[in-house]
Amino acid sequence: MTTSKVRAWPQIVLTGFMGAGKTTIGRALAAQLEAPLFDSDALIEDASGTRIGDLFGQLGEPKFRDLEHRCITAVAGRPGTILALGGGAIVCEATRASLRNCYIVYLEISPATSLRRIGDPSSRPLANTGELTQLLEAREPIYRSVAQLILPEQDEPPEATLSRLLAALPPVYHPA
């Protein structure tokens, strides 16, 4: 009989603005820690059968945020896992409450870097508004208020960001 390794550490949640690298870093972090990854955008698309950009347009932001909250709540707080959030997920107070027992990492990003990384904004509903800077400025205090770790933006490849993140994680996340 084989026993699986029980993961006792709190779920790591990656938050930040669009283009910050939450999904990319989430995948790499999950591989490094040998942990399951939940990506809120993928959860939403799986639940609805519709792409995020299309769904956002069909439902409007309030109903989209409600669906997003339900998908996140279904996996929130699972020990030994990684959760990559959509850029606006943390704005919902109920979603923040469901992540209360998680270790939240804020991946900082500037508006210029966000625009460069997202490229074609058609897949990002709120990137088309032309008010990207104002949106980031409105969300930044929320990102900061929930984060146990703030990872400053640096112009570097994802592997370097992952290394900085791993070095900054508390000892509970490092194998003995």
pLDDT tens-digit series, residues 23-38: 999 999 999 999 999 9
Q: Is 5 inside any structural domain?
A: no
pLDDT one-digit tens code per residue, 70-116: 999 999 999 999 999 999 999 999 999 999 999 999 999 998 888 78
In a domain, 2, yes or no: no
CATH number at residue 37: 3.40.50.300
Q: How many domains would you assign to the chain? A: 1
3-state secondary structure 39-55: EHHHHHHHHHCCCHHHH
Residues of the binding site: 19-24, 41, 65, 87, 124, 139
Is 1 a member of any domain?
A: no
Write down the pLDDT at residue 8. Answer: 81
Helix (H) or strand (E) holding 95: helix 93-98
96: containing domain = 12-167
Q: Is residue 174 part of a domain?
A: no
Binding-site entries for ATP: 19-24, 124
Extract the annotated binding site for Mg(2+): 23
Residue 76 and residue 94: Cα distance in Å, rounded? 12
Domain assignment present for residue 138? The answer is yes
pTM of the entire predicted model: 0.90
